[in-house]
Structure 1
Amino acid sequence: MLPRTTADISTHWAFGQDIEVLPRIFEDDITLAVMERPLDSALTLAVRAQLGHQRGLEWHWRGAPGQAMQEDLARRLPAPEAGEALVQDIGTIAEAMAYLFSTDTIGIRLRTLDVAMCPRFHVDNLPVRLVSTYAGPAGEWLPEHAVNRAGLGAPRPDKPDIVADPGAIQQIGVGDLALMKGCGWVGNEERGLVHRSPQPASGERRLLLALDPG
């Protein structure tokens, strides 16, 4: 085996355009695995239809992915008559998540947001989460070299800035599927991915999907 270079050691993310990139989250050094994907026209139209309604969306599910989950989601959409592509996409993602983590239970949230949900850089205390932004600005994250972990946690006047290099802030693409390790992943207690929610522009709304296995 060839020795790893310094660049290899510092690179804790994996990006790809195929679903095979997602299992790389199980590698010890990887804290972010992203499947890059554009939203097709049917899915884009379904998303626009939901955001075109004044009523917001706040849907939660915890249980097995499958027909019951998809039917429940369809009933809760602001524009269910135009939501088939979105329901099917979330169903496919949920089933893939259940398969990847060998679980029958998935926690799912789909919500519209017009403010930043978590505007401060932070780490999650859970093992892993999958997030995908269907519309609006997608999440931002920091490479480890740009993080001052002493600044994490509840803000205090004596804490240093979390961001050691503002020019290193990265952003996930709209439509991408991003698996993020948190501090609850065994062996990753001090290396949870540092990330935050961006602030939508005035009058803009995000449509955000989040899934937790188990």
Structure 2
Amino acid sequence: MNSATILAPVRSHVHRARTVEAFAAILDPDVNLAIWERPSMPSVGSLDGFGTIQMTAPVDRAHAALIDAFAQQPPAAWHADIAADMAALAQSFAAIMNLSHVVIRLECVVGNACKRWHADYVSVRLICTYRGSGTQWIKRSVETADAPAVETQRSLALGAVGLFKGRILAGQQAIVHRSPPIAGTGEERLLLVIDGPPPEETAALWERAMQRG
């Protein structure tokens, strides 16, 4: 047996865990996707008349700002639980990324929001789907350091939370992903995206990136 056949497998670029501590792995230079596989999440009722919520808020005021934003939507019993969950995710994300403010977007998606494979021009983006199909991403795996990479399509589970490392931090190694194409299926997705505020020099690129998820 030669040395090439006993090489240890190359480390995965994806980290999964069943607790929120999964988020810390995104700080590892070799990790470009950290996934918290939550055992449960708040349930979501009817999305009739639901409009996009988008805001920039101080982390310590995010919950209050979300309560105010949900108050502008058609009343629904599930709003309070989702607002609390979003605020908790924003706090965890901000703690990992050392942020004082977060940019939050929650929207109902019924078409092909961004069906092309891409990597976002952000540092790290939090994505969670509260209803419908989860964001799809590409897993790259190799058996040994000199083997060609195998790319496999994967999807976030409903309610799972992913931290997707973008081009600002990872360059060409940024995680490649897309919104699942659902146009014409009648499916509704409720998608949460959380980012940090953009640096001034990347604001224009970030504004375009915010429309993806």
Q: Please classify the TM superposition score into its range, dividing by the shorter chain length.
A: 0.7 to 0.9
2:55: which partner in 1? 61
> What is the rounded CA distance, in whole Å, between the counterparts of 1:207 and 1:173 in structure 2?
13
Give the residue type in structure 2 aligned to 1:68: A
2:160: which partner in 1? 176
Residue 20 of structure 1: SS of its match in structure 2? helix
> Normalising by the residue count of structure 1, what TM-score does the alignment of the two structures yield?
0.78
Q: Is contact 1:77–1:83 with CA below 8 Å preserved after alignment?
A: no
> Normalising by the residue count of structure 2, what TM-score does the alignment of the two structures yield?
0.79
Q: Please give the per-residue CA displacement for 1:107-142, whole angstroms capped at 9, x wherever unaligned.
A: 000000001211011111111100000001101111
> What is the rounded CA distance, in whole Å, between the counterparts of 2:78 and 2:15 in structure 1?
34
Give the residue type in structure 2 aligned to 1:57: G
Structure 1: segments with no counterpart, 5+ residues:
147-163
> What is the rounded CA distance, in whole Å, between the counterparts of 1:7 and 1:94 in structure 2?
34
Q: How does 1:5-154 map onto structure 2 within 5 Å? A: 5-9=7-11, 11-40=12-41, 43-44=42-43, 47-49=44-46, 51=47, 53=48, 55-65=49-59, 66=61, 67-145=63-141
> What is the rounded CA distance, in whole Å, between the counterparts of 2:17 and 2:132 in structure 1?
22
The alignment status of 1:203 with 2:186, answered yes or no, reads: yes
Q: Number of residues paired by the alignment?
A: 183
Structure 2: segments with no counterpart, 5+ residues:
1-5, 143-148, 198-213
Give the residue type in structure 2 aligned to 1:56: F
* CA shift in 2, pair 1:204/1:120, >3 Å: same
- After TM superposition, give the deviation of residue 5 of structure 1 in Å: 4.8
> What is the rounded CA distance, in whole Å, between the counterparts of 2:105 and 2:55 in structure 1?
7
Residue 137 of structure 1: SS of its match in structure 2? coil
Q: Is contact 1:113–1:208 with CA below 8 Å preserved after alignment?
A: yes
> What is the rounded CA distance, in whole Å, between the counterparts of 2:175 and 2:89 in structure 1?
21
- After TM superposition, give the deviation of residue 189 of structure 1 in Å: 1.1
Percent identical? 26
> What is the rounded CA distance, in whole Å, between the counterparts of 1:58 and 1:139 in structure 2?
18
Task: List 4+ stretches of structure 1 deviating above 3 A.
Answer: none
1:213: which partner in 2? 196
Give the residue type in structure 1 aligned to 2:9: A
